[in-house]
């Protein structure tokens, strides 16, 4: 029998062969790590066949490294993560990526960068080197740094001078990915340092209390996270968080909302109404409205959120509001639901709340539901790192056939499928909430009078942003 090393090498080699053949036949260039990210290279991951082989290659490479690397060094890839995060935040907040983009591929020394952003050049050089060691930025010659494909993902496209004058609007009119990074390197990063303290000081009644989180420890507050960021003095964090929620869309398949819209067939035939509960400014509703012009949509959220929603729709689809095809409606989902639509749509809402709060939200929707109402929940479904024989999940749910990586890879593709697990940690640190397994989703919905009838999986990573369709029982 071949060794595990040889088996992994065979998987990697076969995947590289397929990837090169696919790229050649489709005219898709394989990304160059030293070149900035652009639209043509981003298309590499948009192709599902290419993306699957890329996942296998990445998973096999990490698995190989874990076998042959000394365990303390493997452990320090996790331990040292906080240090890389600290270095990355300095570069993010001081606009290093934009400064290097303006300099071009020849790069700049830390002293030249510091002359623009005012940082200590000696420390900045050390920050950049630890990041370059992990393929974020690159050291093109001794003590000279430039952008690469990874670091340029943080580029806002704005001038460094513009950002220095008005840092509060840094992520305005961008895809929001930088805002996601900024949020994680600020509130989430600081909260993470108090995970142990929060876990050891918690009583059993605190486990699902959103005021007893590591975030509460870090910021010495009794406010829930969302209440904290709505303080007047936290306007900058609140603004960035709103843009970060938009930025989360960049990490999903472009068609995730539509492929997850399990009940399109129902509303498409009847021209019924969809209520996007806790829909934020309406990012998901905009995609649905763009593809289905006969649908009526109601976007519900808190009044302060809807102020931003008005500007969002005025900029992107003003006619939908003026024609009343889309209605922006103030509503607290912890209050009774007054609408009786064909579909209730909950995208990345339940993962923000502990289970007892989720039951309240779902129960209000169940109380308003008619016999033919559908509920569509779009959230991550956490998968196991081992093979799933069905002994835990029990009877298979229609559509839920998790794509597992070929052996001997971890069934969940290891680090290549990490986004859902990182999201799960973020939910705990800030909200005492979580991402859930399919069984946990089923139990949660059942406890509020709903039964799962199908799971719809978008292309690509099957754990991130799946659609769960449920009916009232």
Do 420 and 375 form a contact (C-beta atoms < 8 A)? no
In the chain, how long is the greatest CA-to-CA distance?
69
Answer whether 198's CB lies under 8 Å from 214's CB: yes
Residue 263: count of CB within 10 angstroms of its CB:
22
Catalytic residue among 183, 184, 351, 441: 351
Contact 333, 277 (CB under 8 A): yes
> In terms of C-beta distances under 8 Å and separation of at least 24 residues, what long-range contacts does 150-159 make, across chains too?
150/33, 150/37, 151/91, 151/97, 151/100, 152/36, 152/37, 152/97, 152/101, 153/37, 153/177, 154/92, 154/97, 154/178, 154/181, 155/36, 155/37, 155/97, 155/98, 155/101, 156/98, 158/98, 159/98, 159/102
CA distances, 302 to each of 278, 305, 332, 334, 443 (Å):
8, 5, 6, 11, 28
Query: Whats the size of the chain, residue-wise?
Result: 473
* Rounded Cα distance, 85 and 80, in Å: 9
CB atoms closer than 10 angstroms to residue 51: 17
CA atoms within 13 A on the CB side of 372: 9
Is beta strand 450-456 parallel, antiparallel or unpaired with respect to 466-472?
A: antiparallel
The helix/strand/coil state of 326 is: strand
User: Which of these, 119, 146, 151, 157, lies nearest to 134 by C-alpha position?
Assistant: 151
The answer to whether residue 351 is catalytic is: yes
Question: Among 314, 322, 315, 274, which residue's Cα sits nearest to residue 294?
Answer: 274
* Residue 77 CB contacts under 8 Å (≥ 6 apart), including other chains: none
Closest CA to 152 of 167, 169, 135, 127: 135
CA distance to 396, 434, 465, per residue, from 256 (Å): 22, 20, 7
- Residues labelled catalytic: 351
């Amino acid at each position: 029998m071949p060794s595990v090393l040889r088996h992994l090498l065979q998987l990697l080699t076969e995947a590289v062969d397929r990837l090169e053949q696919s790229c050649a036949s489709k005219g898709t260039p394989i990304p160059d790590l030293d070149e900035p990210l652009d639209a043509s290279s981003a298309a590499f991951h948009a192709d599902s066949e290419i993306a699957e082989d890329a996942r296998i290659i990445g998973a096999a490479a990490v698995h190989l490294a874990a076998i042959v690397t000394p365990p303390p060094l493997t452990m320090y890839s996790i331990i040292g993560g906080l240090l890389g995060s600290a270095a990355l935040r300095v570069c993010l907040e001081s606009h290093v990526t934009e400064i290097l983009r303006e300099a071009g591929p020849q790069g700049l020394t830390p002293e030249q960068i510091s002359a623009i952003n005012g940082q200590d050049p000696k420390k900045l050089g050390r920050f950049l080197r630890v990041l370059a060691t992990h393929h974020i930025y690159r050291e093109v010659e001794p003590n000279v740094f430039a952008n690469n494909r990874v670091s340029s993902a943080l580029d806002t496209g704005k001038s460094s001078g513009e950002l220095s004058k008005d840092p509060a609007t840094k992520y305005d009119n961008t895809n929001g990915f930088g805002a996601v990074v900024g949020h994680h390197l600020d509130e989430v990063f600081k909260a993470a340092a108090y995970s142990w303290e929060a876990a050891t000081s918690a009583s059993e009644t605190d486990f699902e209390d959103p005021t007893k989180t590591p975030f509460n420890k870090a910021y010495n507050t009794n406010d829930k996270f969302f209440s904290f960021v709505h303080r007047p003095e936290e306007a900058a964090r609140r603004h960035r968080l709103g843009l970060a929620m938009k930025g989360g869309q960049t990490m999903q398949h472009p068609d995730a909302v539509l492929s997850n819209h399990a009940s399109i067939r129902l509303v498409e035939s009847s021209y019924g109404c969809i209520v996007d509960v806790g829909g934020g400014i309406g990012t998901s509703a905009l995609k649905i409205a763009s593809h289905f012009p006969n649908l009526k949509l109601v976007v519900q959220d808190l009044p302060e959120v809807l102020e931003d929603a008005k500007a969002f729709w005025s900029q992107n689809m003003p006619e939908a509001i003026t024609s009343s095809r889309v209605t922006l409606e103030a509503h607290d989902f912890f209050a009774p639901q007054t609408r009786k639509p064909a579909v209730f749509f909950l995208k990345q809402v339940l993962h923000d709340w502990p289970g007892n709060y989720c039951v309240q939200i779902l129960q209000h929707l169940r109380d308003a539901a008619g016999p033919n109402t559908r509920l569509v929940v779009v959230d991550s479904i956490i998968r196991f790192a081992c093979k799933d024989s069905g002994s835990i999940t029990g009877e298979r749910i229609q559509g839920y056939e998790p794509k597992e990586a070929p052996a001997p890879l971890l069934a969940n593709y290891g680090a290549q499928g990490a986004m859902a697990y990182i999201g799960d940690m973020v939910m705990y640190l800030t909200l005492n909430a979580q991402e859930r397994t399919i069984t946990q989703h089923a139990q949660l919905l059942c406890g509020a009078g709903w039964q799962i009838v199908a799971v719809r999986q978008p292309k690509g990573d099957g754990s991130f942003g799946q659609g769960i369709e449920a009916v009232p029982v």
